[in-house]
Amino acid sequence: MTTYHTPVLLHECIEGLNIRPNGVYVDVTFGGGGHSGEILNHLDKGKLIAFDQDMDASENQLDDSRLVFCKGNFRFLKNFLKYNGIKKIDGLLADLGVSSHHFDTPDRGFTFQGNSPLDMRMNQSAKITAGDLLNTYSPDQLRRVFREYGEVDNAGKLASMIVSGRSTTNYTSSSQFVDAILPCIPRGAENKYLAKVYQALRIEVNHELESLKSMLHQCIDAMNPGGRLVVITYHSLEDRIVKNFTKTGNFEGKVEKDFFGNVISPFKPLNNKVIVPLEEELNRNSRARSAKLRISERIPVKTNA
């Protein structure tokens, strides 16, 4: 399992879920099954629903009658739960971002190293690839993607150079694309810059932030009071969404209070400071370096009775 993707902050996630042996739990990012396998180890007659939209991940399914594997995006959380006859869950785990498998499989196009295709689709049945975006988006659309999703400083210049470069030929490979935007890449910070560019393209291709918001919002109705929401993020955009939602109940971070001055939110954060991997884990798995874990608990619905 760990050759596909090493589970990040495994002990901290399991502890955060506070697993009830007969409860119902969801792993919305199954991947190599590392987190799911450990959740199952803590269940007795409980049930685990695992999501993954990547067909490669379906090959890692665990042979366990307590596991239900859903081949799809976690933005369809409530639909899949309803289809499987599940009304409420007791906890949900999300390990967001890209798995090691994606980075280590050049044909998937998630890395700017080498001559990989400009793909980046987590769901390979999706129609739009990164290459499609680069070859068809207007300068304004490209500028928005790189500025909002990659926080690229020279997003306007980058967008213009991309449009100019495709006037003679379409972008088809990573090496071709990187060569075309070389004048935009700061010397001495090539990897950091390209990581931002590729992050932006990946988020746009897979609609990652929209899917995250949809899934989090569905957790309000899907989760039992006292249920745990455990989310690992890998960049500031994801972390800000999760932080705002769990603290205020909305994605803008707008605080609303009741008559007694209590913050109105369906969740209560259990760790005010994000949990990050210890040095020992980073020595085993350097790709966990940017991971941030937030744990929150579903608050019981208050009534006027």
Q: What's the pLDDT at 4?
A: 65
The domain 10-100+209-298 having CATH identifier 3.30.160.60: the answer here is: no
Assigned token pair, 113: 């190293």
Q: Of 227, 220, 300, 236, which Cα lies nearest the Cα of 274?
A: 236
137: left (phi over 0), alpha (psi -120 to 50) or beta: beta
Name residues whose C-beta falls within 8 Å of residue 75's C-beta, 6 or more positions apart in sequence: 210, 211, 214, 215
Q: Which fold has domain 106-206?
A: DNA polymerase; domain 1 (1.10.150)
Phi first, then psi: what are they for 65, rounded to 5°?
Answer: -65, -15
Contact 200, 146 (CB under 8 A): yes
**Domain residue ranges of the chain, discontinuous segments joined by +:** 10-100+209-298, 106-206
Contact 68, 84 (CB under 8 A): yes
* Tokens 């939110």 -> residue: 265
Assigned token pair, 102: 């994606």
Amino acid letter, 245: F
For each of the chain's 305 residues, which pLDDT tens digit applies?
A: 445 667 999 999 999 999 999 999 999 999 888 999 999 999 999 999 999 998 776 777 788 999 999 999 999 999 999 999 999 999 999 999 777 777 778 888 888 887 899 999 999 889 999 999 999 999 999 999 999 999 999 999 999 999 999 998 899 999 999 999 999 999 999 999 999 999 999 999 999 999 999 999 999 999 999 999 999 999 999 999 999 999 999 999 999 988 888 888 999 999 989 999 999 999 998 889 999 999 999 998 765 44
Phi first, then psi: what are they for 117, rounded to 5°?
Answer: -70, 155
Give the pTM: 0.92
Surface-to-core class of residue 62, CB atoms within 10 Å of its CB (0-12 exposed, 13-18 middle, 19+ buried)? middle
Residue 156 CA to chain centroid, in angstroms? 27
Strands 47-51 and 223-233: unpaired
Please tell me the distance from the alpha carbon of residue 54 to that of residue 88, in angstroms, as a whole number.
Answer: 25
pLDDT digits (tens, 9 = 90+) for 177-198: 999 999 999 999 999 999 999 9
Q: What's the pLDDT at 54?
A: 82
